[in-house]
Chains A and B, each alone.
Chain A
Amino acid sequence: MVENRRFLNILAHLVLILGVAFVAFPVYIALIASTHGQNDFLSGVIPLLPGHDTIRNYSAMMTQGLASSGAPPLWLMLGNSLIMALSISIGKIAISIISAFAIVYFRFPGRMIAFWLIFVTLMLPVEVRILPTYKVVAELGMLNTYAGLTVPLIASATATFLFRQVFLTIPEELMEAARIDGAGPMKFFWDILLPLSRTNIAALFVILFIYGWNQYLWPLLVTTGTDHYTIVLGIKRMADIADQQPEWNFIMSTVVLAMVPPVLVVIFMQRLFVKGLIETEK
Chain B
Amino acid sequence: MAAITLESVGKTYAGGVTAVHAIDLAIEDGEFLVLVGPSGCGKSTLLRMIAGLETISSGAVKIGNRVVNQVEPAERDIAMVFQNYALYPHMSVRENLAYGLKNRGVPKDEIARRVAEAAKILEIGGFLDRKPRALSGGQRQRVAMGRAIVREPAAFLFDEPLSNLDAKLRVQMRGEIKQLQARLGTTSIYVTHDQLEAMTLAHRLVVLNGGRIEQVGTPLEVYRKPASTFVAAFIGSPAMNLLQAEVSGGRVRLGGASLPAPGAAEGKVTLGLRPEDLQRTRPGAEGALLMNVAYVEELGAQRLVHGTVGGQSLVCAQPVESDLGDTLTLTADPAAVHLFDAASGKRLG
Asked whether, in the complex, the Cβ of B103 is within 8 Å of the Cβ of A181, the reply is yes
Which residues of chain B from 78 to 96 have any CB-CB distance to chain A below 8 Å in the complex? 78-80, 82-84, 86-90
Shortest distance in angstroms between A5's beta carbon and chain B's nearest beta carbon? 42
**Distance A11 CA – B88 CA, assembled complex (angstroms):** 49
Shortest distance in angstroms between A122's beta carbon and chain B's nearest beta carbon? 29
* A243 located at the interface, meaning its Cβ lies under 8 Å from any Cβ of chain B in the complex: no
CB-defined contacts of B74 to chain A, threshold 8 Å: 179-183
CB-defined contacts of A195 to chain B, threshold 8 Å: 90
* B131 located at the interface, meaning its Cβ lies under 8 Å from any Cβ of chain A in the complex: yes
Shortest distance in angstroms between A194's beta carbon and chain B's nearest beta carbon? 10
Q: Which of B73, B78, B89 contacts A282 (CB 8 A)?
A: B89
A280-B89, A281-B133, A282-B89 given; A180·B78 CB < 8 A: yes
Mostly helix, strand, loop or mixed at chain A's interface?
Answer: helix
Shortest distance in angstroms between A266's beta carbon and chain B's nearest beta carbon? 24
* A191 located at the interface, meaning its Cβ lies under 8 Å from any Cβ of chain B in the complex: yes
Shortest distance in angstroms between A277's beta carbon and chain B's nearest beta carbon? 12
**Distance A195 CA – B73 CA, assembled complex (angstroms):** 23
**Distance A187 CA – B133 CA, assembled complex (angstroms):** 23
* A239 located at the interface, meaning its Cβ lies under 8 Å from any Cβ of chain B in the complex: no
* B100 located at the interface, meaning its Cβ lies under 8 Å from any Cβ of chain A in the complex: yes
**Distance A181 CA – B74 CA, assembled complex (angstroms):** 6
**Distance A171 CA – B83 CA, assembled complex (angstroms):** 12
CB-defined contacts of B103 to chain A, threshold 8 Å: 181-183, 187
CB-defined contacts of A192 to chain B, threshold 8 Å: 88, 90
* B191 located at the interface, meaning its Cβ lies under 8 Å from any Cβ of chain A in the complex: no
**Distance A196 CA – B72 CA, assembled complex (angstroms):** 25
CB-defined contacts of B73 to chain A, threshold 8 Å: 176, 179-180
Interface flags, A215-252, vs B, CB<8A=1, else 0 = 00000000000000000000000000000000000000
Asked whether, in the complex, the Cβ of B89 is within 8 Å of the Cβ of A177, the reply is no
Asked whether, in the complex, the Cβ of B79 is within 8 Å of the Cβ of A180, the reply is yes
* A139 located at the interface, meaning its Cβ lies under 8 Å from any Cβ of chain B in the complex: no
CB-defined contacts of B168 to chain A, threshold 8 Å: none
Asked whether, in the complex, the Cβ of A181 is within 8 Å of the Cβ of B53, the reply is no
* B104 located at the interface, meaning its Cβ lies under 8 Å from any Cβ of chain A in the complex: yes
**Distance A171 CA – B90 CA, assembled complex (angstroms):** 14
CB-defined contacts of B51 to chain A, threshold 8 Å: 176, 180
A171-B84, A176-B53, A177-B82 given; A182·B90 CB < 8 A: no
Q: Which residue of B lies closest to A176 (CB)?
A: B53
Which residues of chain B from 37 to 90 have any CB-CB distance to chain A below 8 Å in the complex? 51-53, 72-74, 78-80, 82-84, 86-90
Asked whether, in the complex, the Cβ of B100 is within 8 Å of the Cβ of A176, the reply is no
* A16 located at the interface, meaning its Cβ lies under 8 Å from any Cβ of chain B in the complex: no
CB-defined contacts of B87 to chain A, threshold 8 Å: 177
* A interface residue count range (under 10 / 10 to 19 / 20 to 34 / 35 or more): 20 to 34
* B223 located at the interface, meaning its Cβ lies under 8 Å from any Cβ of chain A in the complex: no
Shortest distance in angstroms between B4's beta carbon and chain A's nearest beta carbon? 16
* A279 located at the interface, meaning its Cβ lies under 8 Å from any Cβ of chain B in the complex: yes
CB-defined contacts of A177 to chain B, threshold 8 Å: 80, 82, 86-88, 147
A180-B74, A281-B89, A281-B133 given; A191·B82 CB < 8 A: no
Asked whether, in the complex, the Cβ of B86 is within 8 Å of the Cβ of A196, the reply is no
A180-B80, A281-B133 given; A196·B100 CB < 8 A: no
A179-B73, A182-B104 given; A191·B99 CB < 8 A: yes
Asked whether, in the complex, the Cβ of B53 is within 8 Å of the Cβ of A174, the reply is no
CB-defined contacts of A183 to chain B, threshold 8 Å: 74, 99, 103
* A173 located at the interface, meaning its Cβ lies under 8 Å from any Cβ of chain B in the complex: yes
**Distance A194 CA – B100 CA, assembled complex (angstroms):** 18
**Distance A200 CA – B332 CA, assembled complex (angstroms):** 67
Shortest distance in angstroms between B34's beta carbon and chain A's nearest beta carbon? 20
Interface flags, B156-168, vs A, CB<8A=1, else 0 = 0000000000000
Q: Which residue of B lies closest to A195 (CB)?
A: B90
**Distance A171 CA – B52 CA, assembled complex (angstroms):** 18
Q: Which residue of A lies closest to B84 (CB)?
A: A173
A179-B74, A181-B74 given; A173·B99 CB < 8 A: no
Asked whether, in the complex, the Cβ of A173 is within 8 Å of the Cβ of B82, the reply is yes
Asked whether, in the complex, the Cβ of B99 is within 8 Å of the Cβ of A181, the reply is yes
Asked whether, in the complex, the Cβ of B100 is within 8 Å of the Cβ of A181, the reply is yes
Most buried by A among B78, B79, B100: B100
**Distance A232 CA – B64 CA, assembled complex (angstroms):** 69
Shortest distance in angstroms between A278's beta carbon and chain B's nearest beta carbon? 10
**Distance A57 CA – B247 CA, assembled complex (angstroms):** 110
CB-defined contacts of A178 to chain B, threshold 8 Å: 88, 99
Shortest distance in angstroms between A196's beta carbon and chain B's nearest beta carbon? 6
Asked whether, in the complex, the Cβ of A182 is within 8 Å of the Cβ of B100, the reply is yes
CB-defined contacts of A281 to chain B, threshold 8 Å: 89, 132-133
Shortest distance in angstroms between B275's beta carbon and chain A's nearest beta carbon? 39
CB-defined contacts of A279 to chain B, threshold 8 Å: 90, 131, 133
Q: Which of B53, B83, B104 contacts A179 (CB 8 A)?
A: B53
**Distance A250 CA – B53 CA, assembled complex (angstroms):** 65
Q: Which residue of A lies closest to B48 (CB)?
A: A176
Q: Identify the B interface with A (CB < 8 A).
A: 51-53, 72-74, 78-80, 82-84, 86-90, 99-100, 103-104, 131-133, 147
5 A–B pairs (Cβ distance < 8 Å), ordered by A: A176-B86, A182-B104, A191-B88, A192-B90, A280-B89
Identify the 3 closest CB pairs spanning chains A and B, nearest first: A181-B100, A182-B74, A173-B86
Q: Identify the A interface with B (CB < 8 A).
A: 171, 173-174, 176-183, 187, 191-192, 195-196, 279-282
